Amino acid sequence: MCGIIGYIGEKKVSDVLVKGLSRLEYRGYDSAGIAVLNEDGISVFKEAGKLSQLKQMIHGVELTGHLGIAHTRWATHGEPSQRNAHPHTDCTETVAIVHNGIIENHEEIRASLIRQGHEFRSDTDSEVIAHLIEEYHVKKGMSLVQAVRVMLGQLEGSYALCAISQKDLNQFVAARNGSPLVVGVGRGENLVASDAPALLDHTRHVIFLDDHQMAVIKRDSVEIFDQHGKPVKHEVHRIDWDADEASKQGYDHFMLKEIEEQADMVERILRTRLRGELSEHLFDVLKFDQSEFNNVERIVIQGCGTSWHAALIGKFLFEALAGLPTEVDVSSEFRYRHLVYQPNTLVLSITQSGETIDTLMGVRRGKSQTYKTVSICNVLGSTIARESDGVIYTQAGPEIGVASTKAYLAQMTILILLSLYFGKTRNKISGSIYDEFVSELRTIPSKLKQVIQEKEKIREIALKYYEARDFLFLSRGINYPNAHEGALKIKEIGYIHATGHPAGEMKHGPIALIDEKMPVVCIAVRSSVYEKMISNIREVKARHGKVIAIATEGDSSIKSIVDDCVYIPACSEFLSPLLVAVPLQYLAYYVSVLRGNDVDQPRNLAKSVTVE
């Protein structure tokens, strides 16, 4: 969590940094700050709260200079406040740093630095970095590059950091270990940021730093070194995302834009993956023989948050369409639980950001068991993508709203394709059934557009219930994970207590919560468990609960037993989670707007969770 950016070049550095921070604000928004270097020294501006506070602070200030660093924070050590905001400087204000990660041995280092006379001005773990650099660079006279290298040798924990020095106007230094960092290679300018969208206004050419690497960034050059100071060869990648994709393009919120681009996105994914034989276009990276993949006998899927919900849907798909035994685990549990070894197990990791620490540790856990690891990931070159043995990119484009929407649909789309692939290679589905699925899949984008037409209806429902204190979400079968997802969305951005349950479990507890004030969202689309779901709806109504149903177009009978109803177009049960998710996203969106919440940057959350 936290976003950092560094820039050197001709442009007005404060503008570049502030714009870059606005692209990174999804990573944390407890405080923001910039440090700009010029011949008079380092000017630091930082403020608690969102980036808008910092913008107000520097409005009208003439900041000259062409080199600077900036930070947007998600607090870990030290409360969100101005004093804990980055950049941090050393005692002599010669050096300024920004840091994303956690320095685990900061207390020990801090105590030793205090004994040597250093004065600390914040409660953060990060400030030790500035003082350590001071020790070597200011006191012992080492160059900034040397001082950073020696300093890094003392740190335990994770970091992506940038450092500038008043004694060196021509370069800055960046380093990573465990937190992401991307170098943007421009013309007469170079940048570093936590994530590619912050660079796209300036360049599409990027270098993904690896752990224990350090970059020395000058106006006309980028040099990468390993921890021993040995130059490292690096590959320059081209990013296909457009800078515009990371902007609101006239929508009120990123979340709304991201919900509404899902139809085009699914169409794009299908176009890329189904442009010939699925087997040829399935993987973007595969570091082992595809036949090994085909011989998998068990899948363990792991992920967090919304990605975990996609994983739960994946289990239904793999078991039903490919006859593959599948386990699903939340990554924070998977990484610590006792694993029973079984040969030919595939660890499939699902992650939008590719940086979630628990999911990353789950990948490493899988590898430690000698399992092959494949990830379904959205962010190109992210740590999980690079550490996995195989990668299928979801190609959802940048997702900025903190609550995940389009990444979820993209993950489900890939899982459907993967299960069809396994179904076919394992002879569990015939060629004609496969073809039927594929042709129905191709109708999903237009069906998604139809669901989007229902948004006004969903807004009216939100108007009726946005003041509720609790929400229940019930479903069965392949859509039961969507009950969890609906509840998560309402919690994340509505700040309303909500829980999702398999509807059959309602009688074992949740039913006690039902009274005339309780909105219960019941996913009752046509499926093998439809009748059971209708019985559950009747049980809720018998206790005077308010039922909001998500049903299949043409199901007129359901209307008479529920309070409100949103229809989705008819489709195969296996594809229905794609359509069901959208009304749930809209419901949370409108509830959040009506409650006056910050839709895109809900309190206490961050999009990329790089702490345990």
The binding site for ligand G6P (CB under 6 A) comprises 304-307, 351-353, 356, 359, 402-404, 605, 607, 609
- What is the rounded CA–CA span in Å between residue 253 and residue 276? 37
Nearer to ligand G6P, 43 or 359 (CB): 359
CB of 303 to ligand G6P, least distance (A): 6
CB of 490 to ligand G6P, least distance (A): 13
Catalytic residue among 2, 304, 565, 571: 2
Burial zone of 359 (CB within 10 Å; 0-12 exposed, 13-18 middle, 19+ buried):
buried
Q: Greatest CA separation found in the chain?
A: 81
Q: Is 555 helix (H, G, I), strand (E, B) or coil?
A: coil
Nearest residue to ligand G6P, by Cβ distance, number only: 305
CB of 301 to ligand G6P, least distance (A): 13
The phi, psi pair for 242, rounded to 5°, reads -95, 145
- What is the rounded CA–CA span in Å between residue 281 and residue 284? 8
CB of 365 to ligand G6P, least distance (A): 15
Nearer to ligand G6P, 429 or 490 (CB): 490
Strand order of the β-sheet with 497-502 is 497-502, 470-475, 519-524, 546-552, 564-568
Nearer to ligand G6P, 365 or 424 (CB): 365
Helix, strand, coil abundance in the chain, percent, nearest 5: 40, 25, 35
Alpha carbon 519 to chain centroid, angstroms: 29
Determine whether 607 is an active site residue: yes
Nearer to ligand G6P, 21 or 385 (CB): 385
Q: 69 with 98: CB under 8 angstroms?
A: yes
Q: Which amino acid is at 609?
A: V
Nearer to ligand G6P, 304 or 472 (CB): 304
Q: Which amino acid is at 221?
A: S
- What is the rounded CA–CA span in Å between residue 184 and residue 190? 6
Burial zone of 230 (CB within 10 Å; 0-12 exposed, 13-18 middle, 19+ buried):
exposed
Determine whether 91 is an active site residue: no
- What is the rounded CA–CA span in Å between residue 454 and residue 123? 49
Provide Rg for the chain, Cα atoms. Answer: 25
Nearer to ligand G6P, 376 or 571 (CB): 376
Nearer to ligand G6P, 307 or 592 (CB): 307
Q: Is 560 helix (H, G, I), strand (E, B) or coil?
A: helix
CB of 360 to ligand G6P, least distance (A): 9
CB of 302 to ligand G6P, least distance (A): 10
- What is the rounded CA–CA span in Å between residue 238 and residue 259? 27
CB of 331 to ligand G6P, least distance (A): 8
Q: Which amino acid is at 279?
A: S
- What is the rounded CA–CA span in Å between residue 245 and residue 557? 42
Q: Tokens for 537?
A: 């709806």
How far are the Cα atoms of 35, 68, 119, 171, 174 from residue 42, in angstroms, in the given order? 6, 9, 18, 14, 17
Q: Which helix (H) or strand (E) holds 97?
A: strand 95-100
Catalytic residue among 46, 406, 455, 607: 607
CB of 449 to ligand G6P, least distance (A): 24
How far are the Cα atoms of 573, 606, 611 from residue 255, in angstroms, in the given order? 27, 14, 24
Length of the chain: 612
Q: Is 210 helix (H, G, I), strand (E, B) or coil?
A: coil
Q: Which helix (H) or strand (E) holds 407?
A: helix 406-425
Nearer to ligand G6P, 190 or 610 (CB): 610
Q: Which amino acid is at 303?
A: G
Nearer to ligand G6P, 214 or 385 (CB): 385
Q: Which helix (H) or strand (E) holds 329?
A: strand 326-330
DSSP tag of 231: B
CB of 117 to ligand G6P, least distance (A): 41
Which residues are tagged catalytic?
2, 607
